[in-house]
A and B are shown apart, each in its own frame.
Chain A
Amino acid sequence: MVEVNLWSGLRRFADGQTVVTVEAQTLRQMFAGLIAAHPGLEPVIKAGVSVSVNGVIETNLSAPLPEGAEIYLIQRIKGG
């Protein structure tokens, strides 16, 4: 199980929670778990979000999620 921190604007899609627990060993499973538990998150996730795992942006959907990792969904940021 991993705990995923949502930004507070996503609470409305997650039964008022800002921290959601899902069964997942990888980012791909984490996204699938989030959407299965809270379908309202699907458009937001599909529109593109970044994921911080232990303070580092992780882009590999197959990367294993370390036990007890700090996971944040944050808005996608690129820059100039």
Chain B
Amino acid sequence: MAKDETQGFRLIGTRPDRPDGLDKVTGRARYGADISAPGMLHAAVVRSPHAHARIVKIDASKALALPGVKAVITRADLPTGLTGEDWNLQENTLAGEKALYDGHAVAAVAATTKLIAQDAAKLVEVTYEVLPHVTDVDAAMAAGAPVIRAGTADHSVPEGMHPNVVKYIDFGHGDVEAGFAAADLVRAQSYKTEATHQGYIEPHACMAQMGSDDRGEMWVCTQGHWYIRRMSAAVLGVDASKLRVTPSEIGGGFGGKTTIFMEPLALALSKKAGGRPVKLVMSRSEVLRATGPTASASMDVKLGMKKDGTLTAAKVMFRMQGGPYIGSSPVGEALSCALACYDVPNVMHEGYEVLANRPKAAAYRAPGSPMAAFAVESLLDEMCRELGLDPLKVRLKNAAREGTKSSYGPTYNRIGLVESLEATMAHKNLLAPLGPNQGRGVASGFWFNHGGETSVSLAIGEDGTVTVSVGTPDIGGSRASIALMTGECLGIPYEKVRVNVVETGALGVNEPTHGSRATFASGLAAVEAARQAMAEMCRRAAAEWDIDPEAVEWRDGAAHPAGPNAGKFPPMSIAEIGAKMGGSGGPISGHHEVTAGGFGASFGVHVVDVEVDPETGRTTVLRYLVVQDAGRAIHPAYVEGQYQGGAAQGIGWALNEEYVYGADGRLQNTVFLDYRIPVASDLPMIDTVIVEVPNPGHPYGVRGVGETGITPPLPALANAIHAATGARLRSLPMSPPKVLAAIKAKAGG
């Protein structure tokens, strides 16, 4: 079932040039910080140097006295009375009574230059009463831990828990104790993962303008400008329709740009400065200190297995912190993904969300799934080794397939894990010989994918070219894939379709590009819009030919008379119809809006070979294979890019990346020199295999492909390092000092 690039499609499955390629390689693409306007001011943010502190007083008089300073805002400038997630967003945008983490914004300044704004920010005098803090998830749950915000817990939390425990989730099916009793081998282990940042290359940036009438505009790098509009409007207490938000080109997001962190500050500063535009661009340090990383996690896993590898029962308990606000950690997602790859008759999941003095977590590529996979797939590997079983064969034996009752409840429809495992087992990388200090690790991974609110318009040009307007910013090639699907549907060349990401005034509400949904959902809507336009073009041709519209069919980019009584007319091309449409009834367009369901889950399997230096503990990735079900790869090069990107991020998470907090609760590694993401020289060429098990919920069979790829690397690396060294690491990152310590501990033991 591996990808066959000769399936009868004209465009789908081809690899044309990307529409944003020239702009990006020549520097013409306009990112968030590239937008400027006459009279524009620059902003800087005053941030808390404390992890937890009461804000006693803010004195901005010295800052305001600095020449060039036009406005200073504090929480007192924002409306009161917000509740729920709106309050969380407002509180995170600008602290109220307390600063809740190192880097929490407490005031903002707008001035005529960036340097003046930065100098003025230093002149804002904030008096703090420093409070005890806690940053570790287990410590935050323990008796005596500092209370971050009493009364936050929802109805689900059992009595007697620490007030920092704010949510409890449990679900499962079968009888886990009976399942463990039926097993030949039962093992339980605990695992920890540190918070990691999405690490997008482009820091958050926006330029905003707002008048005294509360009407405003914003240009911003974001994954979802309707979300930015709604959230900013809520924080500022204005109607969403008063804001018009235009997305810039985006230099990476990975989930971290689906929410607001500082955008309302630019609007509020603009309003206070008499409506002058305000640009606000974060530094890397601000990005790491004050925007959403993913959660840190502490996890317990127990599995039961028969001697032949059959899983009989599984039980997981996850604890995750996502900062100081409820609802920010992905503990629910992590639980739902933990055992999703397998057909296990008896499963139980429990999880706690915990508050801590860290930044408000944001979504990060398959939120929660990588941590869950690290725990479950590591223990599965340990048990395979203990029983002398092939880890890939055990995964295949237990693999979820069509008709399997999923670990989170529903029965699976058509899914592609079995096909992905079979393609993996047939790959040449598994035959590569391994030398001393080298080892091979495998792991499976899962992500749900998503559909969501989607609105797309399509217009036929006077020359027969087509413009598609979508509301999902292009992060991973969606403009190209939507152009291919539209061209395929209309029977016209790829080059005749332009896809634009348009502002909030141009379409109905669109959810962000999140949940691996852009090619699936905007693509689905574009195809439906194209079909509408096609039907109208058939009607226009029928009118000119004076025949019944039902006697006209569309193929090869033209209307054709069809049927015995249609008459003999030469085909009327889309260009001919476009040229005449002003006189044949007016502009021709198509539009489709939908809350898209029918998205198909995507499964993947990774195999990694590593070499571990026994003297330093450094891990070198020798070769890496990603095999994943794409449903249908519309533009295979972009699909491969998503697979490789997910693997690269996962390798960084596994081996090096972590948030390092000092005893004072301050983040110590706030630049990329100290927060080490992988660079090109760290990685080999990542091999990919696209498996295609079409999703019946999409006209061309698309499944989202953006997220699953980050899930298996964490356990695959842990399993490979164990194979190379005999040392089992159960906490991330597996950085050289930790690996070396584990090797020494094993040798000593």
Contact = CB atoms under 8 A, between A and B. Distances in A.
Given A80-B254, A80-B515, A80-B707, A75 B169 contact: yes
A79 B330 CA distance: 9
A55 B413 contact: yes
Contact of A56 (B170, B255, B447, B697): B697
Interface string B701-726: 00000110000000000000000000
Contacts of A9: 156, 168-171
A80 B366 contact: yes
A23 B170 CA distance: 27
Nearest to B327: A47
Interface stretch (B1-9, B128-136, B271-279, B594-602): B594-602
A60 B597 contact: yes
**9 pairs of A and B residues whose beta carbons are closest in the complex:** A80-B255, A79-B515, A52-B410, A80-B363, A7-B171, A59-B595, A72-B409, A55-B413, A80-B365
Contacts of B168: 9
B597 A79 contact: no
Interface in A35-80: 43, 52, 54-60, 70, 72, 74-75, 77-80
Contacts of A79: 255, 333, 363, 365-367, 447-450, 514-517, 707
Interface of B: 155-156, 168-172, 198, 253-256, 258, 332-333, 336, 362-367, 408-413, 447-452, 511, 514-517, 595-599, 697, 706-707
A32 B644 CA distance: 45
A72 B514 contact: no
A74 B408 contact: yes
Contacts of A43: 155
A27 to B, nearest CB: 11
Secondary structure call for the B interface: loop
Interface in A1-27: 5, 7-9
Nearest to B704: A79
Contacts of A8: 170-172
B685 to A, nearest CB: 25
B409 A52 contact: yes
Nearest to B453: A59
Given A9-B171, A55-B412, A77 B332 contact: yes
A77 B171 CA distance: 15
Contacts of A59: 451, 595-597
A50 to B, nearest CB: 9
Contacts, number: 93
A77 B333 contact: yes
A28 to B, nearest CB: 14
B410 A74 contact: yes
Contacts of A55: 410-413
B649 to A, nearest CB: 11
B451 A77 contact: no
Nearest to B601: A55
B564 to A, nearest CB: 38
A29 B599 CA distance: 24
14 contacts: A7-B170, A9-B170, A55-B410, A55-B412, A57-B599, A70-B410, A72-B410, A74-B336, A77-B515, A79-B365, A79-B449, A79-B517, A80-B363, A80-B707
B410 A78 contact: no
A78 B452 contact: yes
A7 B599 CA distance: 21
A78 B155 CA distance: 23
Nearest to A80: B255
Contacts of A77: 332-333, 336, 448, 450, 515
A62 B14 CA distance: 38
**Chain A CB within 10 Å, residue with most, of B362, B412, B597:** B597
A14 B256 CA distance: 36
A78 B254 CA distance: 13
B514 A80 contact: yes
A74 B169 CA distance: 11
Contacts of B511: 78
A19 B287 CA distance: 45
Nearest to A52: B410
Nearest to B513: A80
A80 B336 CA distance: 15
A7 to B, nearest CB: 4
A59 B524 CA distance: 15
A4 B333 CA distance: 21
Given A70-B410, A77-B333, A78-B363, A57 B516 contact: no
Contacts of A7: 169-171, 409
A3 to B, nearest CB: 13
Nearest to A8: B171
B204 to A, nearest CB: 16
Contacts of A70: 410-411
A56 B169 contact: no
A8 B67 CA distance: 62
A7 B156 CA distance: 12
Contacts of B598: 56-57
Given A9-B156, A80-B253, 10 more contacts: A55-B410, A56-B413, A57-B598, A58-B597, A59-B596, A70-B411, A72-B410, A77-B515, A79-B255, A80-B364
Nearest to A57: B597
Nearest to B155: A43
Instruction: Pick the most buried of A59, A72, A77: most chain B CB atoms within 10 A of its CB.
Output: A77
A78 B450 contact: yes
A17 B129 CA distance: 49
Contacts of B253: 80
